[in-house]
């Protein structure tokens, strides 16, 4: 029995001691609906847990909030674990929550849906946000466990399909504490070093808890921030993670991811052979088509033009087959034709050429040309120049009994 008056502080402290010392109240599991939810700037979360008849105050400190796999919402039905104690300053008793889980659906699935909805609202899942894979991939960066089956499968597929591809492995945890941080760091490292054309993140199958590292926000942000295309290859075909939705491409399995980045060299060889055949066929068709056109053009020229024009056009058509010599050959032929033309004109103007046709030049004793019969009679004696020599003649006054042939 207490014989003196207690202070308020003493009463609150006494109640706190009793509550803290009660093993049942220290480890409660309580279910109810969230109300008056408040996220404090300190990182703590304050709310009330209520049912149809009453309510109780609750607080969850930052270190426990950080472990939540989902974001609490007003009106959400949850189950919490924690202990009842008193905040001595105001005498309010409340539940100090250590963990909580949504009712009706697992906390992990709820967290998955919430983060997916967030990224959907940000546009991170839109097709327009996806980066295409490079046309020619020479270096592949892989973020995964260096000892798991997934890395062996991917290496095997890539080596079989295209041994020329260089594989760079960033060893990372893919499950448990710190796994999400290591996966994100691997993506960032490949972007910083620039030693890969595309990045694959992945692991083998497992439960949702096993694959949870690929649902963490830090991984989603690293994928979105990546300048390199990212392929998510997590679990089996039926497994879906946040990484699958944010990544530029999803591969249902790690082996398929290997196929996506490694073009089959045998298939490429077949494709190149087909392209070569098509190219040769197109070239032959083009050559034959133009050969026929040239032949037809030559025939038209032969029918419609004089010989010198045909010769010039033949030279021109021949020159088309060798572009480097076209101008030179045409110019030489043109200059030769000009020389021949000038030569013919000079021959026409040369007096010797006239004499060869039967004409003579008559000169008097002084060397002046005799241009008429009158001048010939006056001269008496003349020098006649033939094309092959000269003779001296005398002019007969009287006409002899013979006539020149008309």
> Tell me: the pLDDT tens digits for 100-119?
888 865 667 888 888 999 99
- The total of other beta-carbon atoms located within 10 Å of residue 354's CB is 14
End of a domain among 76, 104, 132? 104
* Structural domain span for residue 287: 267-349
Q: How confident is the model at residue 219 (pLDDT cuts 50, 70, 90)?
A: very high
Indicate whether 206 pLDDT > 80. Answer: yes
pLDDT in tens, 117-161: 999 999 999 999 899 999 889 999 999 999 989 999 999 999 998
Give me the phi and psi of 92, to 5 degrees please: -85, 130
In sequence order, what DSSP letters do the residues of 138-159 get, joined into one string? -EEEEEE-TTSHHHHHHHHHHH
Structural domain includes residue 372: yes
CATH number (domain holding residue 243): 3.40.50.10550
Domain count, the chain: 4
CATH number (domain holding residue 31): 2.40.50.140
Structural domain includes residue 124: yes
Task: Name the helix (H) or strand (E) containing 48.
Answer: strand 45-50
> How far is the C-alpha of 65 from the C-alpha of 97, rounded, in Å?
9
Structural domain includes residue 405: no
In a shared domain, residues 245 and 117: yes
- The total of other beta-carbon atoms located within 10 Å of residue 30's CB is 17
End of a domain among 66, 88, 104? 104
In a shared domain, residues 47 and 129: no
End of a domain among 104, 122, 153? 104
205 contacts 199 by C-beta, under 8 angstroms:
no
In a shared domain, residues 18 and 37: yes
Structural domain includes residue 400: no
Task: Name the helix (H) or strand (E) containing 92.
Answer: strand 92-102
Of the chain, the end-to-end C-alpha distance in Å amounts to: 180
In the numeric block, the tokens 């260089």 are attached to 166
pTM above 0.95, yes or no: no
CA distances from 53 to 33, 37, 105, 106 (A): 12, 19, 25, 26
Nearest to 37, CA basis, from 97, 87, 89, 88: 97
Nearest to 237, CA basis, from 261, 201, 263, 204: 204
> How far is the C-alpha of 128 from the C-alpha of 98, rounded, in Å?
42
35 contacts 47 by C-beta, under 8 angstroms:
yes
In a shared domain, residues 40 and 72: yes
More confident residue, 329 or 229: 229
pLDDT in tens, 248-287: 999 999 999 999 998 866 676 777 778 888 888 888 888 8
pLDDT in tens, 3-59: 788 777 777 787 777 777 777 788 899 999 999 999 999 999 999 999 888 999 999
């Amino acid at each position: 029995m207490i014989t003196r008056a207690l202070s308020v502080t003493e009463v609150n402290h006494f109640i706190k001691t009793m509550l803290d010392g009660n093993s049942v109240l220290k480890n409660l599991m309580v279910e109810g609906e969230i109300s008056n939810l408040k996220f404090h700037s300190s990182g703590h979360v304050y709310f009330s847990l209520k049912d149809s008849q009453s309510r109780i105050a609750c607080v969850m400190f930052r270190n426990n909030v950080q472990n939540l796999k989902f974001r609490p919402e007003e009106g959400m039905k949850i189950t919490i674990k924690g202990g009842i104690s008193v905040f001595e300053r105001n005498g309010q008793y409340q539940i100090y929550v250590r963990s909580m889980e949504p009712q009706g659906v697992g906390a992990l699935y709820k967290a998955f849906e919430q983060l997916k909805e967030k990224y959907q609202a940000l546009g991170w899942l839109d097709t327009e946000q996806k980066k295409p894979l490079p046309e020619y991939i020479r270096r592949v960066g892989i973020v995964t466990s260096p000892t798991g089956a997934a890395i062996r499968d991917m290496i095997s597929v890539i080596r079989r399909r295209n041994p020329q591809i260089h594989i760079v492995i960033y060893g990372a945890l893919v499950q448990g504490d710190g796994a999400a941080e290591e996966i994100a760091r691997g993506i960032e490292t490949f972007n910083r070093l620039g030693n890969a054309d595309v990045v694959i993140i992945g692991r083998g199958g497992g439960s949702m808890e096993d694959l949870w590292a690929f649902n963490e926000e830090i991984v989603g942000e690293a994928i979105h921030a990546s300048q390199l295309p990212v392929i998510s290859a997590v679990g089996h075909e039926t497994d879906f993670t946040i990484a699958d939705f944010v990544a530029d491409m999803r591969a249902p399995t790690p082996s398929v991811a290997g196929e996506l980045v490694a073009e089959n060299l045998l298939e490429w060889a077949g494709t190149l052979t087909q392209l070569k055949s098509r190219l040769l066929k197109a070239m032959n068709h083009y050559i034959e088509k133009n050969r026929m056109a040239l032949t037809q053009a030559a025939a038209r020229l032969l029918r419609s033009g004089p010989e010198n024009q045909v010769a010039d056009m033949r030279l021109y058509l021949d020159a088309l087959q060798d572009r480097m010599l076209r101008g030179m050959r045409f110019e030489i032929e043109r200059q030769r034709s000009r020389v021949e033309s000038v030569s013919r004109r000079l021959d026409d103007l040369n007096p010797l050429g006239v004499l060869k046709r039967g004409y003579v030049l008559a000169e008097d004793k002084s060397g002046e040309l005799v241009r008429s019969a009158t001048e010939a009679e006056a001269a008496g004696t003349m020098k006649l120049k033939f094309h092959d020599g000269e003779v001296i003649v005398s002019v007969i006054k009287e006409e002899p009994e013979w006539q020149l042939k008309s």
